[in-house]
Amino acid sequence: MNAPLLKESFELIAPQKEAFARQFYERLFTTYPQTRPLFASTDMRRQESALMATLAAVVAGVERGENLVPVLRKLGERHYRYGVQPEHYPLVGQALLATFSDFLGPRFTPAMQDAWVQAFEVISSQMIAAGEP
């Protein structure tokens, strides 16, 4: 994973992270309404900070060269229990990238986009594998 580019883009949104998370879920639910029922009984304010904290932890972990596989597998097992299906992952990835573009405009460079596409691919493939029977 491209740690410097992930970190740089994440730091650019960090001052607005609450607004970023809120807009991400809004976009996810309006673009892909099929994801909304999964969060029917979720406290969205807590969920928003959980998402941002996890993304920050992944970026920091990549930067330190940590092995994120065990953490991602556990996260994936929990998501399987929440009812998350493999086909939901690309929707979340797409909404995440679109939210970065909304917030950063041209500061979200094609290289940063690639870095997030790749990172999301690694993260989601580990999470999905953990939920497979």
Interface contacts to ligand HEM, rule CB under 6 A: 35, 38-39, 41-42, 47, 50-51, 54, 75, 78-79, 82, 84, 88-89, 92, 123-124
The nearer residue to ligand HEM, 101 or 125, going by C-beta atoms, is 125
Shortest Å distance, C-beta 65 to ligand HEM = 19
Q: Which two tokens stand for residue 22?
A: 């809120």
Residue nearest to ligand HEM (CB): 42
- CB distance 52 to 20 below 8 Å: yes
The nearer residue to ligand HEM, 75 or 97, going by C-beta atoms, is 75
Shortest Å distance, C-beta 109 to ligand HEM = 21
Q: Can you tell me the distance from the alpha carbon of 65 to that of 61, in angstroms, rounded to the nearest whole number?
A: 6
Q: Can you tell me the distance from the alpha carbon of 58 to that of 84, in angstroms, rounded to the nearest whole number?
A: 20
Q: Can you tell me the distance from the alpha carbon of 71 to that of 100, in angstroms, rounded to the nearest whole number?
A: 24
Looking at residue 55, its amino acid is: L
